[in-house]
Amino acid sequence: MTEPRLFRVALPVEDIELSIAFYRRILGQEGERIGPGRHYFHCGPAILVCYDPGAEGHDFEAEPGDGPVFFAVEDLEERFELARGAGCSWLDDEIVERGWGERSFYARDPSGNALCFVDAATTYTGPR
Enumerate residues 6+ apart whose C-beta is below 8 A from 24.
Answer: 30, 31
Average pLDDT for residues 102-119, to the nearest whole number? 97
pLDDT by residue (tens digit) across 45-100?
999 999 999 999 989 888 888 789 999 999 999 999 999 999 999 999 999 999 99
| Dist. CA 39–CA 107, nearest whole Å | 20
Domain ranges of the chain: 8-122
Class of domain 8-122: alpha beta
Total Cβ atoms within 10 A of residue 33: 13
What percentage of the chain carries pLDDT values higher than 90?
84
Sorting pLDDT into bands at 50, 70 and 90, what band is 1?
Answer: confident
Total Cβ atoms within 10 A of residue 38: 17
| Dist. CA 75–CA 118, nearest whole Å | 9
pLDDT by residue (tens digit) across 13-50?
999 999 999 999 999 999 999 999 999 999 999 999 99
What is residue 128's predicted lDDT score, i.e. its pLDDT? Answer: 64
Residue 2 has pLDDT above 90, yes or no: no
Average pLDDT for residues 93-119, to the nearest whole number? 97
Enumerate residues 6+ apart whose C-beta is below 8 A from 110.
Answer: 13, 14, 15, 18, 19, 22, 87, 88, 89
Question: E strand or H helix at 118, and its extent?
Answer: strand 114-119
